Structure 1
Amino acid sequence: MTHDNTTLSRLPTYFISHGGGPWPWMKKEMGATYDQLAASLADMPRQIGRTPSAILMVSAHWESPVFTVQGNPRPPMIYDYGGFPAHTYEVRYASPGSPELAQRVQSLIAAAGLPAQIDPERGYDHGMFSPMAAMYPNADVPVVQLSLRRGLDPAEHLALGRAIAPLRDENVLIVGSGLSYHNLRNFGPQAHGVSKAFGDWLDQTSVNATPQERVQRLQDWASAPSARVAHPREEHLIPLMVAVGAAEGEAGERVYHEDAFMGGLVVSSYRFGAV
Structure 2
Amino acid sequence: MLVLNTLSILVQVVFIVFMSLFSMNIIRHFTGYRKMMVLAPALFVNHGGGPMPLLGDKEHAGLTIFLRDEVKKHVNIKELKAIILITAHWEENKVTISSGKHHNLYFDYYGFPPVSYKYKYDAPGDSDLAERIKKSLDKAGIESRLDSKRGWDHGVFVPMMLINPEADIPIIQISVLSNQDPEQHYKLGQALYEFRKEGIAIFGSGMSYHNMREFMYSRHQNKVVNKEFDDFLNEVCTSESEEKRRKGLISWRQQRGASEAHPPRAAEHFMPLIVVAGAGGSAPGKRVFNWDMSGTFRLSAFIWKDK
CA–CA separation in structure 2 for the residues paired with 1:15 and 1:25: 19
For residue 208 of structure 2, the aligned residue among 180, 185, 202 is 180
Q: 1:40, 1:255 within 8 Å by CA — same for their partners in 2?
A: no
**Number of the residue aligned with 2:21:** none
**Number of the residue aligned with 1:45:** 72
Deviation for aligned residue 1:249: 1.6
Q: 2:161, 2:167 within 8 Å by CA — same for their partners in 1?
A: yes
- Secondary structure of 1:189's counterpart equals coil
CA–CA separation in structure 2 for the residues paired with 1:245 and 1:25: 29
**Number of the residue aligned with 2:194:** 166
Higher fraction of helix: 2
User: Displaced runs of 4+ in structure 1, greater than 6 A?
Assistant: none
Matches within 5 A, 1:30-41: 30-31=57-58, 33-41=59-67
**Number of the residue aligned with 2:184:** 156
**CA deviation string 1:186-216 (max 9, x = no partner):** 1223494432121111111111462211111
1:255 paired with 2:283, answer no
1:26 paired with 2:59, answer no
CA–CA separation in structure 2 for the residues paired with 1:191 and 1:157: 34
Q: 1:61, 1:126 within 8 Å by CA — same for their partners in 2?
A: yes
**Number of the residue aligned with 1:273:** 305
Change (3 A) 1:243 1:213: same
Q: 1:64, 1:150 within 8 Å by CA — same for their partners in 2?
A: yes
- Secondary structure of 2:88's counterpart equals strand
RMSD of Structure 2 on Structure 1 (CA): 1.8
Q: 1:158, 1:242 within 8 Å by CA — same for their partners in 2?
A: yes
- Secondary structure of 1:235's counterpart equals coil
For residue 237 of structure 1, the aligned residue among 245, 270, 274 is 270
For residue 170 of structure 2, the aligned residue among 142, 150, 153 is 142
CA–CA separation in structure 2 for the residues paired with 1:91 and 1:263: 29
CA–CA separation in structure 1 for the residues paired with 2:166 and 2:90: 24
The amino acid across from 2:295 in the alignment is G
Matches within 5 A, 1:2-81: 6-8=34-36, 9-27=38-56, 30-31=57-58, 33-42=59-68, 43-49=70-76, 50-81=78-109
Greater CA radius of gyration, 1 or 2? 2
The amino acid across from 1:165 in the alignment is Y
Deviation for aligned residue 1:46: 3.5
CA–CA separation in structure 2 for the residues paired with 1:82 and 1:220: 34
**CA deviation string 1:139-179 (max 9, x = no partner):** 11111101112201100111111111111011111001110
Change (3 A) 1:102 1:227: same
TM-score, scaled to structure 1: 0.92
- Secondary structure of 1:118's counterpart equals strand
Q: 1:5, 1:169 within 8 Å by CA — same for their partners in 2?
A: no
Change (3 A) 1:191 1:72: farther
**Number of the residue aligned with 1:96:** 124
Query: How many percent of aligned residue pairs carry the same amino acid?
Result: 33
TM-score, scaled to structure 2: 0.83
Change (3 A) 1:191 1:14: farther
Change (3 A) 1:46 1:19: same
The amino acid across from 2:54 in the alignment is W
**CA deviation string 1:78-121 (max 9, x = no partner):** 11112211221121111111111111111111110110110011
The amino acid across from 2:257 in the alignment is S
CA–CA separation in structure 2 for the residues paired with 1:192 and 1:137: 34
Deviation for aligned residue 1:5: 5.5
CA–CA separation in structure 2 for the residues paired with 1:165 and 1:5: 19
**Number of the residue aligned with 1:215:** 246
Deviation for aligned residue 1:41: 2.3
